[in-house]
C-alpha cells in the first residue's frame, strides 16, 4: 500500500519545488532488488527433536523472495551474513526508490487536478 502524501494544502509553487528536489535527488542504486527479505523459524524433519515437542523452532533463516509472475516465485536461502546484509540493503534501496516515485506521481496528479501543466 502506497503512502499518501499531504499535498492538497501545499501551494502550487511548493509542489513544483518539491518535484524539482525529488528529480534532482532521484537516484537508482545499482544494487536494488524488488523482493522481500524474510526471516523464518521452522521445524526440522527429525520427529524426536525439541522443535516438534513445543520447544523453540530452528532459525532464524533468512530468505529472499521475489514474485516474478502469477504462480512464479523465486525464493532462496541467504546463507551468510554478507549475503543477508546485501539482500536487505538491496530491498531497502528498492523501497526508497519506490517511495520517491510514488511521491512524484502524487505531486503530478495533484498538479493535474489543479489544471496545472506538468512541465516546469
Establish if 73 belongs to a structural domain.
yes
Residue 66 has pLDDT above 90, yes or no: yes
Query: How far is Cα 114 from Cα 120, in angstroms, rounded to an integer?
Result: 14
Return the exposure string of 78-90: e unless at least 16 CB atoms fall within 10 Å of the residue's CB, then b. beeeeebeebeeb
The answer to whether position 25 is within a domain reads yes
Instruction: Specify the pLDDT at position 53.
Output: 83
4 part of a folded domain: no
pTM: 0.83
Q: How many domains does the chain have?
A: 1
**81 within some domain:** yes
Does any domain span residue 83? yes
Evaluate whether 64 touches 78 at the Cβ level (below 8 Å). Answer: yes
Per-residue confidence (pLDDT) for residue 54, from 0 to 100: 79
Cell numbers 530452528 correspond to: 58
The per-residue pLDDT for range 27-64, each reduced to its tens digit, is 999 999 999 999 999 999 998 888 888 778 999 999 99
The reported pLDDT for the residue numbered 90 is: 97
Q: What average pLDDT score do residues 8-32 get?
A: 95
Structural domain harbouring 83: 12-113
- Residue 77 pairs in a beta bridge with 63
Q: How confident is the model at residue 26 (pLDDT cuts 50, 70, 90)?
A: very high
Q: Is the pLDDT of residue 1 over 80?
A: no
Amino acid at each position: 500500500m502506497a503512502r499518501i502524501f499531504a499535498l492538497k494544502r501545499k501551494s502550487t509553487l511548493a509542489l513544483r519545488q518539491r518535484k524539482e528536489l525529488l528529480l534532482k535527488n532521484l537516484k537508482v542504486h545499482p544494487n536494488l532488488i524488488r523482493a522481500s527479505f524474510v526471516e523464518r523459524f521452522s521445524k526440522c524433519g527429525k520427529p524426536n527433536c525439541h522443535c516438534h515437542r513445543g520447544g523453540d523452532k530452528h532459525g532464524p533463516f533468512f530468505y529472499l523472495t521475489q514474485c516474478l509472475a502469477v504462480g512464479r516465485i523465486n525464493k532462496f536461502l541467504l546463507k551468510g551474513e554478507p549475503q543477508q546484509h546485501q539482500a536487505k540493503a538491496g530491498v531497502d534501496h528498492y523501497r526508497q526508490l519506490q517511495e520517491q516515485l510514488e511521491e512524484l506521481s502524487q505531486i503530478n496528479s495533484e498538479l493535474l487536478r489543479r489544471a496545472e501543466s506538468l512541465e516546469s
